[in-house]
Structure 1
């Protein structure tokens, strides 16, 4: 069990900076087409006061040779396997876009296992009760690239490099398939605090749709709207970091924000 857990941890989770002993732990879950390295600047800014981990999904970067997952639930189960069930250090989650969906399924699995997250930050995604028919993953490469370019989450030069596109398109299409075919299954609401963050000009989610995350928890709920589009958290990085730090500080060791 220990060997499997350790191997899964190395496969799925990345740690970029040293944390201080007893620092609160925060797990970042990337967006569709994203990778663990997207959160290196966040890890640098938060460390050593926060123990930052970032998820590496299969099919990209150092996991390029692996087939990408095709469902949100599959990704959530993979992350759960990577978390040592014997480690009782409370864990906060931060998921952006697709990562919010994966984080929600992961939070439900953790709660079922008696290890609910200390707090769940959801970013750039409407609540799971708001369903919308989407089929980008069924279209051609040009349509997929156009959709990604609209969201301004990938540098334009990368989308024009054919060699890079050949590497990233399979995982990107699988991620879009996971997002667009996801349907929330019935189950208990979360018990943990839930903090929703979004950009005021996000073409994929309105502030009203972000507010529907309040339906997913019996714990405290907050909504924070920032200037910007789908990737508002790049331009508003300092404000987002301040929100994370203040939330973890407010929770304090009594509710699990510190190990």
Structure 2
């Protein structure tokens, strides 16, 4: 594996001449290693990079960034420093908002992306108001449990809760304070992924991503809840590649 391109990017696979680069942006509280299982299902000539936000894993001692715009600026800068290749952005939950904001900055810098995939999150003009980052630990943990019941053991442990909850709170602040005065459509296609049993985003909200792209988004429903992609990485990746091929043929 090549050396890490930036603290903001974990190179899960980085070849010499990839035909494309898939860049994954995690959910609130998530880390780059969340996407490591995708390596087993992604073609070998596509690089896999995952964004590593401060405050977790090897960046644990760095302060969290609680502004979504600032996060997007850092991520875009890290991507602009890489050799030019077709870029696919995939963001889950909070990462979906960041994928959109990062794509805007790349397009402004004349380094547009080939495709943007937003998973399990509404567009900025349809995001409900919430202030969980201001509420007590019990309320915040209850919301985390509601979305990801499989992580209960982490939040049942007082030491682990004390260690990791400040990072999650910082991420909640970033996404809950995300505002956009003017809607800016992307030149790149935006496609939407969500789960049948996810209460975080409705199909009506998902359709509103059409306001932010010059292409009509495809909306793909998967079985499961908010973290549907944990159980089915292969179908998710196959869907991404099919959609990119549909638009450009570049990854057919």
> Could you state the TM-score of these two structures normalised by the residue count of structure 2?
0.92
Q: Say if 2:131 is the partner of 1:135.
A: yes
Deviation at 1:130, TM superposition (A): 0.5
Ranked by relative contact order (alpha carbons within 8 Å, sequence separation 6 or more), the top structure is 1
Aligned equivalent of 2:60: 64
Q: 1:134 to 1:70 in 2, by over 3 A?
A: same
Q: CA deviation at 1:169?
A: 1.0
2: distance between equivalents of 1:197 and 1:119? 13
Q: Secondary structure at the match of 1:155?
A: helix
Q: CA deviation at 1:149?
A: 0.5
Residue by residue over 1:205-253, the C-alpha shift from the partner in whole angstroms, topping out at 9 and shown as x without a partner, is 1111111111100124211111211111122322211101222333233
SS in 2 for 1:129: helix
TM-score computed with the length of structure 1 as normaliser: 0.89
The match for 1:162 among 158, 161, 164 is 158
Change (3 A) 1:220 1:145: same
Is 2:74 aligned against 1:78? yes
What does 1:1-16 correspond to in 2, within 5 Å?
Answer: 9-16=5-12
Task: From 221, 227, 231, give the equivalent of 1:225.
Answer: 221
Partner of residue 36, structure 1: 32
| Residues 1:106 and 1:179: Cα distance change in structure 2 (over 3 Å) | same
Consecutive unaligned residues of structure 2, counting only runs of 5 or more, are: none
The answer on 1:152 being equivalent to 2:152 is: no
Q: Give the secondary-structure state (helix, strand or coil) at the position aligned to 2:218.
A: strand
**What secondary structure does 1:15 align onto?**
strand
Distance 1:42 1:55, change over 3 A: same
Does residue 117 (structure 1) correspond to residue 113 (structure 2)? The answer is: yes
- Matched residue of 1:54: which SS? strand
Q: 1:252 aligns with which of 236, 249, 252?
A: 249
Q: Deviations over 1:118-153 (max 9, x none)?
A: 000000001211132201111111111111010016
Q: CA deviation at 1:199?
A: 0.7
CA shift for structure 1 position 114? 0.9
Change (3 A) 1:18 1:109: closer
Distance 1:154 1:74 in 2: 30
Give the conservation status (yes or no) of the 8 Å contact 1:200–1:206: no
Aligned partners of 1:210, 1:220: CA distance in 2, in Å?
12
Deviation for aligned residue 1:47: 4.3
- Confirm or deny: 8 A CA contact 1:17 1:44 kept in the other structure: no
Q: Contact 2:22/2:88 (CA < 8 Å) preserved in 1? A: yes
- Which residue of the partner structure matches residue 87 of structure 2? 91
Contact 2:183 2:212 in 1 (8 A): no
Distance in 1, matches of 2:149 and 2:175, equals 16
- When residues 15 and 85 of structure 1 are mapped into structure 2, their CA distance, relative to the original with a 3 A threshold, is closer
Asked if 1:102 is matched to 2:98, the reply is yes
RMSD of aligned Cα (Å): 2.0
Distance (Å, rounded) in 2 between the aligned partners of 1:86 and 1:74? 19
In structure 2, the residue matched to 1:205 is: 201
With over 3 angstroms needed to count, the CA separation of the structure-2 counterparts of 1:208 and 1:46, relative to structure 1, is same
Gaps of 5+ in 1: 1-5
